[in-house]
Amino acid sequence: MDFMSPEFLTIAMFIVLIGLITLGLPLAFTLAAVATIFGLIDNYGDIHGLFNIYANNCWGLMNNYTLVAIPLFILMAQLLDRSKVAEKLFEALYVVMGRVKGGLGLAVVVVCTVFAATTGIIGASVVAMGLLAAPALLNKGYQKELTTGIICSAGTLGILIPPSIMLVVYGGLTGMKETSVGQLFAGAIIPGLLLASLYFLYIWIRCLLNPELGPTISDEEAAKYSTAQKWSMTLKSLLPPIALILTVMGTILAGVATPTEAAALGAVGSGILALCNRALSIQVIKESCVATLRISCMVMMLFIGGKFFSTIFLSMGGGDVVADLLVGGGLSPNMALVVMMCIIFFMGMFIDWAAILLVTVPIFMPIAMELDFNPLWFSMLVCVNLQTSFLTPPFGYALFYLLGVAPEGVRMTHIYRGILPFVGLQVVGLFLIWFFPEIVTWLPGIFFGSD
């Protein structure tokens, strides 16, 4: 066996990476360490040459203007998380939809969809709904599994519905016009709403067939508010976030502002919302800025580690090995796509979405182009697939976010059982996008003239 062959090094590199990740080591440093070890092996211990490669990659990464949008979107999310926007909207929809079968669960989906379109970070949505909605649903008699499934699945919409940090990272990785951040934002709107609609229909139909799973609120509670009051509550809580969404997304899709400029507008707008809700203070600004700094540093460290890893992996011939396996192995384009999607789905059970993107996109995107796939459509398949990584055991982040704030009596077993139908719905959404590419390409075609 040739221990210096690209095939052996490729397999060894992934085995070492997965082994170190399962030990719980910090992901960014793990990626960089594995890259350094195999980089030295591949170039026969040339430390100076490896340092030059890393320095050039870091310089190119830090010069990427698109990535400036990341801390701005994070700041926007942090301010919104403290502005009580989600809380006010849930309180209004609690009354408006409380008499519908499964209405409170449907209200959670609506709130999370609106919140997803304003924050782009799933932790905020899952934690907020876990604290706000979980006690309300359980007190009304909702099944624990259904409650946890609704909150975890709807809370993860923030990673797909624009403005999404994942889409900004993806656009920064590819550097292609066809997968620019604006194109990705436009392409992700309908898939994100499609998943939200699948969740909505599933909850409604299931509670319609078995009302005991999602009881309605009492007649006395519903009668406390007149129809005019219900409309007033809903509009007052819904219009401000909708205005913010239109400000951010509208300027990008209209070509008025770049994603970075729109992110700055969003950060200012979220501050204004917090001010209008009397939730803006020096302490809130300080906490939001510190949290933004921490998250931004984490994301950028992941970027650097992932960039090192993908650079070394490709330089030692790993990309060619994977391409030969998928393209040169006699697989049809559809079978090659199945293999790539299965790899991403499996990795999502154990690895953070950012690491999956940083490792797979530089390898899979050239293969997708060689197979003549629409790059935007392929990218959206990857991103929708990655949303499952937040729900799939054993390391789905949304599961642990919810467990940390769940009411007493809710166990991890309830959460595991609750998310299974929703993971199935995500797979259904993935197949719908696969067979109907227009779900992804239609809006970008309108706004940017894409084919």
Task: Give the span between the Cα atoms of 442 and 451, in whole angstroms.
Answer: 9
**Is the CA virtual torsion 385, 389, 391, 397 positive or negative?**
negative
Taking residue 254's Cβ as centre, other Cβ atoms within 10 Å add up to 9
Per-residue pLDDT reduced to its tens digit, 292-313 = 888 888 778 877 887 888 788 8
Structure-token match 């009354």, residue found: 95
Determine the 3-state secondary structure of 327 from DSSP. coil
CB atoms within 10 A of CB 391: 25
Terminal CA-to-CA distance of the chain, rounded, Å?
47
How confident is the model over 410-437, as pLDDT tens digits?
888 898 899 999 999 999 999 999 999 9
Q: Per DSSP, which regions of 205-310 are E strands?
A: none
pLDDT of residue 75: 86
Cα–Cα distance measured from residue 305 to residue 352, given in angstroms and rounded to the nearest whole number: 13
Q: What's the pLDDT tens digit per position in 231-261?
A: 788 788 788 888 888 888 888 887 788 888 8
* Lowest-confidence pick of 48-57, 140-149, 182-191, 202-211: 48-57
Distances (CA, A) of 381 to 127, 141, 323: 27, 37, 19
The single-letter DSSP state of residue 316 is: T
Whether the CB-CB separation of 310 and 32 falls below 8 Å is answered with no
**Four-CA torsion 346, 304, 404, 110, nearest 10 degrees:** -80
From 434, 432, 411, 401, select the one nearest 153 (Cα to Cα).
Answer: 401
- Average pLDDT, rounded, for the chain: 83
Buried b / exposed e across 424-433, counting CB within 10 Å, b at 16+?
Answer: ebbeebbeeb
Please state the domain extents for the chain. 67-448
Q: For residue 364, give the nearest of 314, 432, 438 by alpha carbon.
A: 314
Residue 218 DSSP code: P
The pLDDT of residue 179 is above 60: yes
Give the other-Cβ count within 10 Å of 303's Cβ.
25
